[in-house]
């Protein structure tokens, strides 16, 4: 059932392309703003690049999170989804995974442009960087999918979503920025494994909370 729900999410997006196009276009716009508005030395830019990148990813993810439940709001289709004979926690997991996939696809477009336009040097092995990226995405989407479901039925959900999301996701953003900075500076893993553990902890905690509480979140 989980596979079918994820497939449904991906097929809808494949037909409309609303989420991925908006996320990629927004990411590209912010990268261009960063590239043409900063007039600092390259060393300073490289120092702040991890923070800039993850702030960019956070704002980009908000677009995807808002659209995660937006399809079901039309004609009150979400009532039909939660009325189906499927565990509501599974619906949350499907939203979490599909949102994670959207974010990864958008990052495939954004990251090369971010590195190119900001003229950053990337000399470290790529696999640890991919691990940090995937874990950071998981933490953001675990929290975001829960908050998006909570804000879905609100009259001004597009305003309520970032208001609720940003405070909760701040520890994740700090941890992933610290881990990214240490990784790019070639520090030994033992010096920054603490931040990876925080990322993993938040991902697991909010993943479990979302699975357990989504039944109550979806109630009117």
For residue 173, the model assigns a pLDDT of: 95
Closest CA to 78 of 165, 163, 176, 149: 149
Confidence tier at 124 by pLDDT (50, 70, 90): confident
CA-to-CA separations, 16 to 20, 71, 102, 139, in angstroms, rounded: 9, 10, 13, 26
How many Å apart are CA 5 and CA 73, to the nearest integer? 17
Residue 35's pLDDT band (cuts 50, 70, 90): confident
Measured between alpha carbons, how far is 139 from 54 in angstroms, rounded to an integer?
12
Q: Under a CB-based contact definition with an 8 Å cutoff, are residues 64 and 23 in contact?
A: yes
Among 39, 60, 141, 157, residue whose Cα is nearest residue 98: 141
Question: Which pLDDT tens digit goes with each residue over 141-154?
Answer: 999 998 888 877 66
Q: Which residue has the tokens 């619906």?
A: 91
d(CA 37, CA 170): 25
pLDDT band, residue 85 (cuts 50/70/90): low
Global pTM value: 0.90
Token digits for 186?
Answer: 């070639």
């Amino acid at each position: 059932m989980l596979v079918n729900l994820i497939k449904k999410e991906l097929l809808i997006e494949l037909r409309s392309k609303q989420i991925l196009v908006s996320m990629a276009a927004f990411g590209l716009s912010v990268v261009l703003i960063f590239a043409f508005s900063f007039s600092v030395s390259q060393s300073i830019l490289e120092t702040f690049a991890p923070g800039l990148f993850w702030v960019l990813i956070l704002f980009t993810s908000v677009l995807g999170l808002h659209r995660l439940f937006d399809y079901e709001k039309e004609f009150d289709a979400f009532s039909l989804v939660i009325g189906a004979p499927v565990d509501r926690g599974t619906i949350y997991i499907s939203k979490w995974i599909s949102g994670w996939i959207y974010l990864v696809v958008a990052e495939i477009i954004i990251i090369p442009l971010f590195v190119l336009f900001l003229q950053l040097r990337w000399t470290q092995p790529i696999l640890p960087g991919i691990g940090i990226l995937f874990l950071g995405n998981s933490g953001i989407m675990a929290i975001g999918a829960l908050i998006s479901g909570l804000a879905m039925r609100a009259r001004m959900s597009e305003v309520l979503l970032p208001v609720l999301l940003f405070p909760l996701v701040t520890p994740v953003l700090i941890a992933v920025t610290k881990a990214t900075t240490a990784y790019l500076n070639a520090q030994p893993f033992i010096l920054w494994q603490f931040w990876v553990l925080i990322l993993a902890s938040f991902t697991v905690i909010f993943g479990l909370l979302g699975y357990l509480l989504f039944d109550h979140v979806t109630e009117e």
